[in-house]
Structure 1
Amino acid sequence: MNRNEYLHLSAELLFLEKQLAKPGLSKLSTMSIHSRIAEAKSSLEANSQHTHQPAKVIITYRGAPVLGAHGVLAEFGTAATQAFSEAIATIAASISGTLADKGPLPNRSNNQLLITGTALGSFGFELEEVPASTPLEMEAATSVSQAIDLMTELLEATTKSDEELSEPVSRLADRALSSVADFLGKLSSYDACCSLTTLTRQFQFVDSEQVRQSKARLSLDNIKETTETFTGEFIGALPGKRAFEFRTADGLVIYGGIPRQIPDPGAVNLNLYKTYDIRLSARRIGSSKPRYILQRFPWADS
């Protein structure tokens, strides 16, 4: 059952209950409505687990600020968790659209995390996104939910090759990357490390030295970005994933992303196999291959 079907059945249940409250119903009609209400309630209860659930993450700490099984320094716990929350809000803003290098974060109030409990068996917190003020599609992935997953993916990638790290880095604005580096800097300044657990992923730093190495790899000095121009033709796009394929005049096929500030990514599929000059932002981490992002549609210049 998808969200529309769930909402339709909920509306039907409300209608039936109103019908049942009307005077003058025959015994047969009353029995029929009772039966339909029971069926609707049963179906809704069976599918209630598919309604949108707020994204959650458990963050735990180890290292110098954690005193055995006794406790964790309050100053560290507060500072580190605040830096983590700031990183999630900044990543969420980067995912949602254009993120300026400075100034207030867009939709900050919608990208907050709640502390809903302490992590059992270790020192840390259970965090959950603030519930949406309006109903969400069952299949909806909020910007905070995506930010939590991308943060976990990014931290894990900082312990892997340049090629693996370049993928999540290519999907984030410089300010978002800096916010993650700030979080890692907060950990390393206290000689600490952390682990993250989400519904689908789990990652743990080995020690504080690995945290320092990861922070260094997210330094903007280690991330090279250039602008490159190619001549050729678009050969396809996946609008939902904001991805495109472009074949250059010499036969090279380029895969790239379409940023959210460019509206209607499906427009690519209306302009296939026509010769264009395109400008791409190319990001490289160390020795990795470039990850391309389209700067604008070439037909927007005409």
Structure 2
Amino acid sequence: MIPRRLQKESLAAERATISQLLSEARGVDDIVGVMQFESRLAEIERELVELGSLNVTRASVAMYFGGPKVLGMQGIDADFASNVIGNFQDLVSKSFTAMEVGDMGSRGPVPHRAETNLMVTGVTRGSFGFVLEELGNQSEAFETPLTVVVDDVASLINEIASAEEEAFAERIASIDSRMISASRNLFGTLSKAEATVRIVEGDREINLGRLEVERGRERTEFLEVKEDPGIILTGLLLGLLPQHKRFEFQLSDGDVISGGVASDASRAVTEQLIGQTFNPIGKTWRAEFSSRTVSRRGMPSRTYYTLIRLLSESL
């Protein structure tokens, strides 16, 4: 199924055309035409209502391209098309693996790759591009993991290219290093081809013009991430939000660090809080963290922390 937004746009365009024809038919007292056009308008309204309540359970995304490599609706450069779709698929695969198994390491094959393959099921209208979909033999009652991943990848692309520096910095601090590499490849391909792209996924669309593409390329091309997976620190736990996976921790020297909470730690703390057997806030702890120091050319480096586990209470 093509993204819901495209279906709505198609129906809205048809509704405008039918409305114009209906007006013309009324103007010439074309009774048969009026009846036909009114019937079709009623059908369109029903279809729009059904689309609004439709439960989308499989991943679907449309990508429209512009620039020198695209000749209107006539065609697209084969090398560019192959590269950019491959880059997007690579980002989806690595995002899925990061969600399923965590850190992938810096080398080696990507696990679960075959489970994440999207299929090109059509070309877009208006500007040349492709519809990519998750195919399956059975209908799903709930959204598949790949649906969540494709939505997240679209958000990642948007945040990398966004003018909001803070949104970009926060997102980069939370993703796997191989996802950063995949993002770099995608924006590099778009930049080299002087391309623009419109991504339609679900009910939203993301438009990357030349300015956004170049911003994304510059951010990812000159990005360095240094990771330290095992840091032991002692300090006062000022705040902990397990469901939102956020913490605030005051070190013994008075500095305060904050960041995300690992899924395992968040789940364990949530269960203990619900059972009222554990309240770690306001106590001094010896805790394990991982850190990511993100640096870019011309920008000061920033270090982001993730709380892995509370090891022992410190008296």
| Pairing 1:281–2:291 present | yes
Partner of 2:8: none
After superposition, the Cα gap between the structure-2 partners of 1:52 and 1:200, relative to the gap in structure 1 and judged at 3 Å, is: closer
What CA distance in whole angstroms lies between the structure 2 residues aligned with 1:235 and 1:132?
50
Partner of 1:215: 217
Shift in Å, 1:79:
2.1
Partner of 2:305: 292
Unaligned runs of 5+ in 2: 1-49
Query: What amino acid maps onto 1:110 in structure 2?
Result: E
Partner of 1:38: none
- Indicate if the aligned counterparts of 2:74 and 2:128 stay in contact, CA closer than 8 A: no
After superposition, the Cα gap between the structure-2 partners of 1:130 and 1:68, relative to the gap in structure 1 and judged at 3 Å, is: closer
Which residue, out of 127, 130, 147, partners 2:132?
127
- Indicate if the aligned counterparts of 1:63 and 1:191 stay in contact, CA closer than 8 A: yes
Partner of 2:155: 153
Q: Indicate the larger mover: 178-187 or 126-135.
A: 126-135
Note the 1:160-199 alignment, pairs <5 A: 160-199=163-202
After superposition, the C-alpha distances for 1:141-176 in whole angstroms (9 at most, x for unaligned) are x44333323322222223324312012212210101
What is the TM-score when the length of structure 1 is the normalising length?
0.68
Number of residue-to-residue matches in the alignment: 249
What CA distance in whole angstroms lies between the structure 1 residues aligned with 2:180 and 2:313?
31
After superposition, the C-alpha distances for 1:16-48 in whole angstroms (9 at most, x for unaligned) are xxxxxxxxxxxxxxxxxxxxxxxxxxxxxx9xx
Partner of 1:72: 76
- Indicate if the aligned counterparts of 1:90 and 1:175 stay in contact, CA closer than 8 A: yes
What CA distance in whole angstroms lies between the structure 2 residues aligned with 1:106 and 1:202?
29
Note the 1:74-153 alignment, pairs <5 A: 74-98=78-102, 99-131=104-136, 138=142, 142-153=144-155
Note the 1:20-99 alignment, pairs <5 A: 51=55, 53-98=57-102, 99=104
Partner of 2:235: 232
- Indicate if the aligned counterparts of 1:244 and 1:258 stay in contact, CA closer than 8 A: yes
Shift in Å, 1:196:
1.0
What CA distance in whole angstroms lies between the structure 1 residues aligned with 2:169 and 2:68?
31
- Indicate if the aligned counterparts of 1:150 and 1:168 stay in contact, CA closer than 8 A: no
Partner of 1:242: 245
Shift in Å, 1:198:
1.3
Shift in Å, 1:290:
4.2
- Indicate if the aligned counterparts of 2:290 and 2:305 stay in contact, CA closer than 8 A: yes
Partner of 1:272: 280
Query: What amino acid maps onto 2:205 in structure 1?
Result: Q
After superposition, the Cα gap between the structure-2 partners of 1:74 and 1:280, relative to the gap in structure 1 and judged at 3 Å, is: closer
Shift in Å, 1:220:
6.0
Shift in Å, 1:238:
4.1
SS at match of 1:233: strand
Shift in Å, 1:86:
1.2
